[in-house]
Amino acid sequence: MKLTFFGAAKAVTGSCHCLEVNGKKILIDCGLQQGRDERDNRVLDFAPGYIDYVIVTHAHIDHSGRIPLLVKQGFHGTIVATRLTGELMSIMLRDSAHIQESDAQWQNQKGRRAGKPIVEPLYTMADAEAAMKLVTTYEYGDTVDLCEGVRIRFVDAGHLLGSASVELWLTEEDVTRKIVFSGDLGNVDQPIIRDPQYIGEADYVVMESTYGDRLHEPPESYTGALAEIIDETFSKGGNVIIPSFAVGRTQELLYFMREMKDEGLVKTHPDFQVCVDSPLANEATRIFSSNLHGYLDEAAIEALKGGALFQFPGLTLTESSEESKALNMDKASKVIISASGMCDAGRIRHHLKHNLWRRECAIVFVGYQAEGSLGRALLEGAKSVKLFGEEIAVNARIVNFKGLSSHADRDHLLAWARHYAPKPRHTFVVHGEASVTEIFAQHLRDAGLAAHAAEYEEVYDLANDRMLAAGVPLPPKPVSAGGSPAYRKLESAGQDLLDAIRHNKGGTNKDLAQFEKELLALIQKWDR
């Protein structure tokens, strides 16, 4: 009866943990590693063909995004999730596959003339569709015999529609242990989504710590604050641009917008236009508008009865790229909600290019902006940013709703952890930046709970409550053998620079000297 940590150990993304019971291997999540956590997503730390089950806590890509790769490399077992996680996972994995295929196509187009080998996508649409055929879903509260000696039950984690904490009862020979995987725990008092549910008892807990070192700002009236920003911006003739994650946060914003319309909070423009420019967000919104009984809070269910949860006058859902481009051709003021939430990809970058330089516009951030992201740069006061090769001045008003988070903060995490009675034998802290996992583990110890921050490839004997292997610090992603996708794009840009130098072979001495001066300044800036 063993537990091994293969992902999100002193890292925020790539959640993946493995239970071994009665000869069966059960993964809890199999997510993509992203950003600073990324190593090599192609390399799995186990043989996929020997995995029997995958239990998915929720549909976010850092928890589910490597499942198609798992299938591609030989997994043919059963994937288990809540009903709505299954529905959201279907669109998110297909969208992720489309991104993988598009990135590979882009790299191959650039690399062909340089004689580089063909790049294969991490996985394809066919792999994502094959994965979805293996999914079996259950509702919250269903107790299911997964296999010999393993029972499971999903409990609402309050983070995303369908998100769950997972209770598992494990029996091997004459020993029974209960382990709980928190998944991502949600913030309290969110619109639409219910508060996380407490669990009363467990021998072991594997617990997230994303915001384990901080508190959210006191809640405010987001409808009132957003309405004020819309009012002021529209009065100047500008647009309100909101970078937003396609699944969860966008639907929450639409809920706010509907409330603003119902209550007439935007005084000068009560019929204001709202455009959701994200095909993935639009598909997710349709799922959010389906059969949600058992998944929503009472106020949302009441709104659902009238079929108006995410429907209101002035709402436009754009699908095609032509429709997206037309939004910036239209001079009328509007709210544009678009992905990605950190501004590092997707249509939002086009909207920023057209609106950042305009003093009459506002850019409103409603979610976490990771270090190194374009969103973080804007929040930290960048005077200009480069988008599509063009330097764009930052003149628009930049607004940050810090308290609008779908994750529990430190105190709510501690309250959830303290609810167990008797206290668990041990709590393993995962899913947080390395320093944060250590800080939150200390908070748990200060509260009288046995806890530590789990390491990558750490192995624990659950039957005898002892560590079998201490694990190692998560190694960084190697940049050799082709490097990261970002590095390969940079390398390709270097080839373009050489081409530009050759094209200027017959230029004037004055122009060539200026080119050299600018190039040397660039080298001096980055070669450090």
Contact by Cβ (8 Å): 181, 28: yes
Q: Where are the domains of the chain?
A: 2-214+405-469, 222-400, 485-526
Show the DSSP H helices in 113-237 as ranges: 125-132, 222-235
Judged by average pLDDT, the poorest of 14-28, 181-195, 300-314 is 300-314
pLDDT at 15: 95
* pLDDT tier for residue 482 given thresholds of 50, 70 and 90: very low
pLDDT at 479: 44
pLDDT at 247: 78
Token code pair at residue 268: 């000068």
- Res 57 pLDDT > 90: yes
- Return phi, psi of residue 522, to 5°: -65, -45
Higher pLDDT, 491 or 82: 82
Tell me the one-letter amino acid at 503: H
Decide if domain 222-400 falls under CATH 3.30.70.2200.
Answer: no
pLDDT at 384: 93
Higher pLDDT, 43 or 352: 352
The whole-angstrom separation of Cα 316 and Cα 325 is 14
* pLDDT tier for residue 466 given thresholds of 50, 70 and 90: very high
User: Average per-residue pLDDT in the chain?
Assistant: 87
pLDDT at 487: 60
pLDDT at 475: 59
- Res 413 pLDDT > 50: yes
pLDDT at 100: 85
Judged by average pLDDT, the poorest of 28-32, 364-368, 453-457, 509-513 is 509-513
Q: What percent of the chain has pLDDT over 90?
A: 55
Judged on CB neighbours under 10 Å (0-12, 13-18, 19+), 11 is buried
The whole-angstrom separation of Cα 452 and Cα 440 is 9
Judged by average pLDDT, the poorest of 264-273, 404-413, 430-439 is 404-413
The whole-angstrom separation of Cα 265 and Cα 257 is 10
The whole-angstrom separation of Cα 289 and Cα 311 is 9
Class of domain 2-214+405-469 as given by CATH: alpha beta
| Fold agreement (2-214+405-469, 222-400) | no
pLDDT, mean of residues 75-79: 97
Tens-digit pLDDT profile for residues 348-397: 999 999 999 999 999 999 876 766 778 888 999 999 998 887 899 999 99
pLDDT at 167: 98
3-state percent breakdown (helix, strand, coil) of the chain, nearest 5: 35, 20, 45
pLDDT at 149: 97
Tell me the one-letter amino acid at 443: H
pLDDT at 343: 84
β-strand pairing of 204-208 with 175-181: parallel
The whole-angstrom separation of Cα 351 and Cα 396 is 12
pLDDT at 47: 92
The whole-angstrom separation of Cα 414 and Cα 445 is 11
- Res 481 pLDDT > 50: no
Higher pLDDT, 37 or 11: 11
Reported as half-sphere exposure (CB side, CA atoms, 13 A), residue 20 has a value of 11
- Res 221 pLDDT > 80: no
